Structure 1
């Protein structure tokens, strides 16, 4: 009953300026990430309502020599049928698929992937989420396979394929000494169904807006 997220969100994607401009001009040419360490599986990634985090991410990529002109792309996103790890229901779901994935790995004799730290990460945040990505992709494939089998057998299916995946992450060091808040905490959205992206935009800079002194009219 509550699986469909009815609202729109604003997402921000840090990237090379040329990538931003290409998507503004040719918005159907969606660029998905298919890296084995993607935190929420494969798809197009956005920081939810977090322009500053997207900007910092792009600037970090420039400092590391990965891009030359950092930019931020905005998007209007409808989450649709969302595997939302802020919802306890989906934590239980991914636990189920982890157990299934582990059983399969034990059966085939394959070593279970592990999340790993990147070099020089002082906070040991396990930024390479190889295990998480493998389990999430295993979940998506299992659901998709069930959907296809039901369609082939009876022409329809009650199985629903996820449009998006969403999660909250605590990252970086404490915001201040003794804090339970962390410098890089954020909500991340991975869009699998490109139709959930309703449009792209170049974010505006905020301008000063004069405030009316209401006491003058009393």
Structure 2
């Protein structure tokens, strides 16, 4: 009953300036990430209502030589049918699919992926989320397979494929000594169904309000 998120959100995508401009001019050419270590599986990634974090990410990519001109793309997003890991229901769901994925890996004799740290990260935040990504993609694949079976059998299906995936992450060192708040904590959204992206925009600078007009 409450699985579809009714509201729109603003998302920010850190990227190369040329990629930002390309999507502004050609908004249907969505950038899908399919890295095996992506935190929320395959899709286009956004920082929810967090322009500063998106820009910081892009600037860090410049330091690593992966981006020349760091920039931020804004998007209006409808989450739709969302696998929202801020909702306990979906934590239980992914636990179920982890067991399913683990059992399948054992049957096939495959080694279970692991989340890993990167040597350059002093906070040991396990930035390479290979296990999480594999389990989430396993979940999506199983749901899709069951949806197809029902379509073939009945011509319709009560099963729904997720439009988006959403999670909250604590990242970075403590904001101050002894803090339970962390410097890079954020909410991340992964859009699988590109129809959920209602439009892109170039974020504008804030202006002073209200403006006081001087009189002579």
TM-score, normalised via structure 1 length: 0.96
Question: Which shows bigger deviation, 120-129 or 87-96?
Answer: 120-129
1:211: how far off?
6.5
What SS is found at the alignment partner of 1:159?
Answer: coil
1:210: how far off?
2.5
Q: Deviations over 1:62-101 (max 9, x none)?
A: 1111010000000000000000000000000000000010
Q: Which runs of 4+ in 1 moved over 2 A?
A: none
Between the aligned partners of 1:29 and 1:121, the Cα distance in structure 2 is 32
Q: How does 1:47-126 map to 2 (within 5 A)?
A: 47-126=47-126
What SS is found at the alignment partner of 2:128?
Answer: coil
Between the aligned partners of 1:209 and 1:172, the Cα distance in structure 2 is 34
Between the aligned partners of 2:65 and 2:124, the Cα distance in structure 1 is 22
1:144: how far off?
0.3
TM-score, normalised via structure 2 length: 0.97
> What are structure 1's unaligned runs of at least 5 residues?
213-218
1:107: how far off?
1.2
What SS is found at the alignment partner of 2:174?
Answer: coil
Equivalent residue, structure 2, for 1:44? 44
| 2:33 is equivalent to residue 33 of structure 1 | yes
**How many aligned positions are there?**
212
Q: Deviations over 1:81-140 (max 9, x none)?
A: 000000000000000000010011111111100000011211110000000000000000
Q: How does 1:1-218 map to 2 (within 5 A)?
A: 1-210=1-210
Two-structure CA RMSD over aligned residues (Å): 0.8
